[in-house]
C-alpha cells in the first residue's frame, strides 16, 4: 500500500497481514521557563497526525520541594503524572498524555499557589504504546559539573527519556546541556533544567543519559547539585 508510512513493516502470514507501526519517532518539542512568580506556565505544542501518539513532559521548579503542579493539560486533555523526584533545591516530575489531539494547542502547568523559578520541556512522540507507555522509572543524583545516570531498557523497540534538575551554582548563564538529543532551559542565577532522549538505545544494557554544565562561553561550569529521572518508552503494539 503506497499510503503506508515509510517506516511501517508489513508481514503476511497465512493470509493475515501484520502491520508494525515502525520505530518510536519524535514529532515535535518545546521548552519554556520563567523566573517571574505565578501559578501557571504555558507554551504551545504542535502534534502531527501520526499513529500511537504520546506527549512526554518534564518539569522542574526551584526553591521548594513541595512545588508540584496540581495538574498539566494540553488544551482540554489532562496529563498523568508518572513520578516525581526532587532534592533540597526544588522539585522535578515527569508527566505523559496518551493519544493527544492532533493540531496546535497550549500546554498549561498549574500550581495551587504562586511560585517562582519553574520550567518544562514537552515532546510529542509517535509509534508509542497506548497502554502503560512508560516504565522502569529510575533516578541518579550527585554533585558535579558532569551529571551522569543510566537506564536499562527491557523491551524490543523501546526508547529512553531523561529529565534533570540542576542547581548549577551561581555562574552567569550556566546551563545543563544534554549529551543526547534534547532541550534545556535556564531560570536565573544558574538554576535550570533539561531533558533528553535516545530513540535507539541498546536493549538489555545500561545506557548513559548524561549532561554537562556549561557557561556562556562554552566552558565547563562549576560543580553543582543535580538529580536525574529516567524512564523507558515502550513501542506501540503491532496489529493484524
Tens digits of per-residue pLDDT, 80-115?
999 988 756 678 899 999 999 999 999 999 998 888
Rounded CA-CA distance 85/239 in Å is 36
pTM here is 0.87
Contact 118, 67 (CB under 8 A): yes
Other beta carbons within 10 Å of 240: 8
More confident of the two residues 2 and 182: 182
| Segment 51-79 mean pLDDT | 88
Q: Give the C-alpha separation, 150 to 210, whole Å.
A: 8
Q: Are 221 and 147 in contact (CB under 8 A)?
A: no
Average of per-residue pLDDT across 160-166: 89
Mean pLDDT, the chain, integer = 83
Q: Are 176 and 190 in contact (CB under 8 A)?
A: no
For residue range 14-35, what is the model confidence (pLDDT) as tens digits? Answer: 544 445 669 999 999 999 988 8
The answer on pLDDT for 210 being more than 60 is: yes
Q: Ranked by mean pLDDT, which of 17-31, 62-76, 113-127, 161-175 comes out on top?
A: 113-127
Whole-angstrom distance, CA of residue 150 vs CA of residue 136: 12
Average pLDDT of span 190-203 = 87
CA distance 57 to 233: 13
Question: How high is the pLDDT of residue 2?
Answer: 39
Confidence band (pLDDT; 50, 70, 90) for 240?
Answer: very low
The burial of 2, by beta-carbon neighbours within 10 Å (0-12 exposed, 13-18 middle, 19 or more buried), is given as exposed
Q: How far apart are CA 135 and CA 153, in angstroms?
A: 9
Tell me if residue 24 falls in helix, strand or coil.
coil
Amino acid at each position: 500500500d503506497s499510503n503506508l508510512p515509510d517506516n511501517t513493516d508489513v508481514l503476511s502470514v497465512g493470509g493475515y497481514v501484520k502491520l508494525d507501526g515502525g520505530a518510536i519517532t519524535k514529532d515535535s518539542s518545546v521548552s519554556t521557563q520563567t523566573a517571574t512568580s505565578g501559578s501557571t506556565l504555558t507554551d504551545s505544542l504542535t502534534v502531527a497526525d501520526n499513529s500511537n501518539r504520546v506527549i512526554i513532559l518534564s518539569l522542574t521548579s526551584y526553591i521548594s520541594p513541595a512545588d508540584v503542579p496540581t495538574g498539566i493539560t494540553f488544551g482540554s486533555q489532562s496529563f498523568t503524572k508518572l513520578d516525581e523526584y526532587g532534592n533540597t533545591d526544588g522539585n522535578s516530575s515527569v508527566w505523559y498524555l496518551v493519544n493527544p489531539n492532533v493540531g496546535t494547542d497550549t500546554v498549561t502547568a498549574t500550581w495551587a499557589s504562586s511560585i517562582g523559578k519553574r520550567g518544562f520541556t514537552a515532546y510529542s512522540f509517535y509509534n508509542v504504546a497506548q497502554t502503560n507507555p512508560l516504565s522502569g522509572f529510575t533516578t541518579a543524583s550527585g554533585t558535579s559539573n558532569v551529571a551522569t545516570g543510566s537506564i536499562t531498557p527491557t523491551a524490543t523497540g523501546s526508547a529512553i527519556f531523561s529529565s534533570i534538575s540542576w542547581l548549577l551554582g551561581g555562574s552567569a548563564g550556566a546551563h545543563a546541556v544534554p549529551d543526547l538529543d534534547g532541550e534545556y532551559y535556564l531560570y536565573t542565577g544558574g538554576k535550570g533544567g533539561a531533558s533528553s532522549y535516545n530513540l535507539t538505545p541498546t536493549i538489555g544494557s545500561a545506557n548513559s543519559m548524561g549532561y554537562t554544565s556549561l557557561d556562556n562561553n562554552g566552558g565547563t561550569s562549576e560543580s553543582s547539585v543535580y538529580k536525574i529521572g529516567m524512564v523507558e518508552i515502550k513501542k506501540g503494539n503491532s496489529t493484524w
